[in-house]
Amino acid sequence: MRDRTTIPLEKLTTSISVNLAEDMQEQGKEFITLKINGQEYEFSVGSRLGQVAPCETLSRTLRDRLNLTGSKESCGQGACGCCTVIMDGDAVTSCMLLTVECAGKEITTIEGLRDPVTGKLSDIQQAFIDYYAFQCGYCTPGIIMTSKALLDKNPNSSKEEIAEALAGNYCRCISQYHVIDAVKHVAEAQRGN
Amino acid sequence: MPAYPEYRYIGKNTQRMDAVDIVTGKTTFLDDFRLPKMLCGKALRSPHAHAMIKRIDAGAAKMVKGVHAVLTYKEVPQSWRVGWPLYRPFMDAKLAYVGDIVALVAADTEEIADEAIDLIEVEYEVLQPVFTALESLAPGAPQVYETLPGNAVPPGYPPFQPHGAFWQIKRGDIKEGFEKAAYIAEDTIHFNKMCPPLSPEPPGAIVRWDGGNNYTVWATTQSNYILKVLNSASMLDANLRIMTFNTGGSYGNKQALVGDVVPAALLSRVTNRPVKFFLSKTLQLGTHETRLGATIQAKIGMDKDGRVCVVQGAWLLDSGAYSDSIQGQVGVGLGEMQLVTSKCKYWDFDTNIAITNKIPAGIVRGYGGQELNSCLGLLIARAMKAGNFDPIECYKKNYVQPGDRYQWRDGLWWECKGSHDYPQAMEESARKFGWKDKWKGWGVPTSVNGRKVTGVGAGIIGNADVGEDNTEAYVKIVPDLGRSDGSKVVVQVDITESGMGQRTNVAKMAAEILDVDMSLVQVTDPDTLSNPTGFGLCGSRGTICYGEAVTKATLDVKSKLLEMASRKLNLPAEELDTREGYVYVKADPEKRVNWKGLWEPDLTIMGYGKHIEQFSTPNFCIFIVEVEVDLDTGLTKILKIVSGTDAGQIIDPKTLEMQMQGGIGAACVDTALYEEHIVDLPTGRLMTTNLIDYKWRPFNEFPAFDTVVLQSQIKNASNHFNAVGVGEISGAAGASAVLMAISNAIGEEVAEYPATPDVVLKAIAKKSAAVATAKKGGC
């Protein structure tokens, strides 16, 4: 028995990623560019030391290469939402995406929510503090990113819609009641404005 | 109602000190941390539940580029042992569960380690496994360890029971007890699905061998000191320094982490490099410690007034392949059992612990008491039903009150000096729930709406472990170099933040006593070397144990400040007080002296406080629940929960409220509905090793939740603010309450965990058959 009793993620994704890498090669591309928290990063793709391997997940790229460790890799199977980031407006689980698939995409992580100049917290981050919407805090970055993507798309989200949107985010300390209050507050404040 | 003291911070919501870091992703957890030259440690694990390694060849694995060490049991000291008493080598030719460690690899990357693991050749002799505690203790069962004849784990846990083992309660003449009983309940009840509390952050450790017997450990534990104690025993007198970052949830379940610390230490020792051993979610679910399995075969009697008056029977515990403290859980479980049946004088109650070929059972929120309560609660309910008692009224008569005596986990007798107001907490919780309107009697639904029926149930539990283990703290006043006339307050304690907010709460206590702004108070990082002793926050001990140590240390340093100012101002210390870094004259607050200047520049003054273990202040929680059952599908939904307690004094309302809500998580309430580890019996493999197959409650399925928290100012809490900790037990009586509610909703008793739709449908069918038979008989 190895680490994974299910099909290893790398083996499952290798064929897809190798195809992508081959496509890139055919098109004469050796690099991919991702825009992360407003900044462009160019990565060399390949299997040599230092290169982004075709099987590398976005979660690993963010955490291990860019030290953006705010989002967590908890289940590695897209089931817990701890690794959630926003890609082109959608909340996505970064452990289920290959970095090579994300070429040209715009990605926001928890580190990108705060105003980079003033340091002011985003409304949603402030609401999580004001409503005591976390306990251990391990799942919090993912929950905040899912909530942010929801409110960006639908500022009029109801309590039920918020709970539905967060159904893929695991929280075992049970901060759900406080989280929903915090997100509802932001939605209401946005409506008020 | 008592008049509550008015405080500056205590009892008021305070922003947690790490709040901004948490919402910005800046907080460090173990997996975010790297050491130079750190290697990745991984394990080849047994595919068999019970086997012997006949041949193992790691030659090819060792040749893989980037592999720094491969260890099999042959290279690992057999004197490094686990279990209590240390009954098996950490790694051995004998494998006792699917996931038991066959070989260890340290490599430059995870991928290289995986490749090496695939190249290790092993030939196994597969042995007959045993998967249930009952079968394990039966004559002729496969023997798991030679050191444990008959698979029976000996009773007694010296760290808890220095005066002798405590594993059974025998009091009075049982026959006489049953003669006094008006109502009897007897059955065998299982709570043995060995659910994982399943913290979001998996277990793991980084270990750096520092030469000799010295190791530095960074771990995901919630308790540095417990990790140190248990691993020092397993690693044969190792000298361990333990440090933590924030811990991503534990629920009592990330404590000793022997399964992570020992492999990392073994690999670090041979590679002379730091090694990280961090489990995936699959391995957390598939190999990390679970709740213990509990079965009770018991007969209880209740007197005509509704008091449990006699208990006879045995508690059978399934420890899985090994456990390093299950005898401690026996002690606490027996203790908690006496708290909810505090008037019972006749006892003949035994315990037996069995080894099985399943993953190890470990420490989990609830710590034996919850597992036992989930079984016992159903028998008490059956006796209450026989006497047609209202459960709330019955619980009020049975729960421990000041003056009652009980034997705690140490086997010694303790007299309750806790709250007088627990019956009031029950009443107020019932009122808030609307119990009077919703309770229609035993086996009677609260409402019937077509094929949907609702029902209500309630459970109680309490724990005197809130005063467990000696604890100490320093509170120091140090110069604030940022402000020429300023000082800072440093609370020096060993507390890991794993979600309870207690690091902030001890800062609040110090700020309250010294009357300073919270921003002036710092709490030292969790570290066994630089902090005084503290067992972490398990057992809800933070409020009493750390609370007493920190408040005494703060009062100590405060008295030193006042004495020094007294000499300077030439006034008696009693006429002085302190606020915002000044000592002032109470009668003339304008007359004041800065702390800085009371003693030599750049130096520190320090107060010391300690808490000495006591078990006389049990806490309490009532859990009242309403469920809706679909009679066609058998699906149960929780509609409403009220959780009630008396906290003595609330330290932080919102964090306490979340601790109460936390009783829904961590394999508590939902062990009654759908949480279970499912073992594939022919192979012993768990089928629930990912977050899809293991069931958990998502955001959009949370019921209405309310709390009742009394503040009766419990003097014996001895922490200056008269507060007791509550969190651990908030959901511990939830599972039995849910089964009671389902039974009332459908009119047929359900006594099987979890009550999945098939279990509920079976009960409904049983009732229908009984009704049909009765009708037939009537014709």
In chain B, the residue whose alpha carbon lies closest to the alpha carbon of A137 is: B22
Amino acid, single-letter form, for residue B718? S
List the domain boundaries for chain A: 9-111, 123-192
Helix (H) or strand (E) holding B449: strand B447-449
In whole angstroms, what is the distance from residue B88 CA to residue B709 CA? 46
The predicted structure's pLDDT at residue A28: 64
A10: pLDDT confidence band, cut at 50, 70 and 90? very low
In whole angstroms, what is the distance from residue B49 CA to residue B129 CA? 6
* Lowest model confidence (mean pLDDT) among A93-107, A138-152, B334-348, B709-723: B709-723
In chain B, the residue whose alpha carbon lies closest to the alpha carbon of A145 is: B23
- The answer to whether residue B480 scores a pLDDT higher than 50 is yes
- Using CA of residue B94, residue B98, residue B99, residue B105, what is the dihedral sign? positive
Contact state of A72 with B47 under an 8 Å Cβ cutoff: no
CATH architecture of B35-127+203-278: Alpha-Beta Complex (3.90)
The predicted structure's pLDDT at residue B774: 86
The predicted structure's pLDDT at residue A30: 87
Which of residues A30 and B231 earns the better pLDDT score?
Answer: B231
- For range B547-571, the mean pLDDT: 98
State percent of chain A over pLDDT 90.
Answer: 81
CATH architecture of A9-111: Roll (3.10)
A193: pLDDT confidence band, cut at 50, 70 and 90? low
Contact state of A125 with B199 under an 8 Å Cβ cutoff: no
Secondary structure of residue A122 in the 3-state scheme: coil
Tell me the CATH number for domain B293-466+616-769: 3.30.365.10
Average pLDDT across chain B, whole number: 97
In whole angstroms, what is the distance from residue A147 CA to residue A186 CA? 10
Secondary structure of residue B334 in the 3-state scheme: helix
- The answer to whether residue B494 scores a pLDDT higher than 70 is yes
CA separation (Å) from B244 to B247, B525, B778? 7, 8, 70
Residue B623: CA count within 13 A, CB half-sphere: 32
> DSSP readout, B262-331?
HHHHHHHHHHTS-EEEE--HHHHHHHS-BPPEEEEEEEEEE-TTS-EEEEEEEEEEE-TT--SSHHHHHH
B4: pLDDT confidence band, cut at 50, 70 and 90? confident
The predicted structure's pLDDT at residue B775: 83
A19: pLDDT confidence band, cut at 50, 70 and 90? low
Task: Express each pLDDT in B636-664 by its tens digit.
Answer: 999 999 999 999 999 999 999 999 999 99
Contact state of A71 with B281 under an 8 Å Cβ cutoff: no
A47: pLDDT confidence band, cut at 50, 70 and 90? confident
Contact state of B32 with A141 under an 8 Å Cβ cutoff: no
The predicted structure's pLDDT at residue B718: 80
The predicted structure's pLDDT at residue B137: 98
Q: Is the minimum CB–CB distance between B705 and chain A shorter than 8 Å?
A: yes
Task: Express each pLDDT in B127-173 by its tens digit.
Answer: 999 999 999 999 999 999 999 999 999 999 999 999 999 999 999 99
Which of residues A57 and B772 earns the better pLDDT score?
Answer: A57
A8: pLDDT confidence band, cut at 50, 70 and 90? very low
Task: Express each pLDDT in A109-155 by its tens digit.
Answer: 999 999 999 999 999 999 999 999 999 999 999 999 999 999 999 99
Task: Express each pLDDT in B684-735 by its tens digit.
Answer: 999 999 999 999 999 999 999 999 999 999 998 888 999 999 999 999 999 9
Task: Give A144's contacts in chain B (Cβ within 8 Å).
Answer: 23
Task: Express each pLDDT in A65-77 by its tens digit.
Answer: 999 999 999 999 9
- For range B54-62, the mean pLDDT: 98
Task: Give A140's contacts in chain B (Cβ within 8 Å).
Answer: 22-23
Note which residues in 51-110 of chain A have CB less than 8 A from chain B. 63, 68-77, 79-80, 82, 109-110
Class in CATH terms, B19-27+469-611: alpha beta
Tell me the CATH number for domain A123-192: 1.10.150.120
- The answer to whether residue A7 scores a pLDDT higher than 80 is no
- Using CA of residue B424, residue B425, residue B430, residue B433, what is the dihedral sign? positive
Contact state of A69 with B32 under an 8 Å Cβ cutoff: yes
Contact state of B248 with A71 under an 8 Å Cβ cutoff: no
Q: Give the tokens for residue B566.
A: 């007294």
pTM: 0.96
Same CATH topology for B19-27+469-611 and B35-127+203-278: the answer is: no
**Which of B26, B114, B665 lies at the smallest CB-CB distance from A174?**
B665
In whole angstroms, what is the distance from residue B72 CA to residue B52 CA? 13
B82 has which bridge partners? B88
Same CATH topology for A9-111 and A123-192: the answer is: no
The predicted structure's pLDDT at residue A18: 59
List the domain boundaries for chain B: 19-27+469-611, 35-127+203-278, 293-466+616-769
Interface mutation target, options B15, B23, B496, B537, chain A, most CBs of A under 10 Å = B23
- The answer to whether residue B626 scores a pLDDT higher than 60 is yes
Task: Give A135's contacts in chain B (Cβ within 8 Å).
Answer: 249, 499-501, 655, 658, 662
- The answer to whether residue B1 scores a pLDDT higher than 50 is no
The predicted structure's pLDDT at residue A6: 40
User: What angle is formed at CA A119 by the lines to CA A117 and CA A123, rounded to 5 degrees?
Assistant: 115
In whole angstroms, what is the distance from residue B671 CA to residue B739 CA? 10
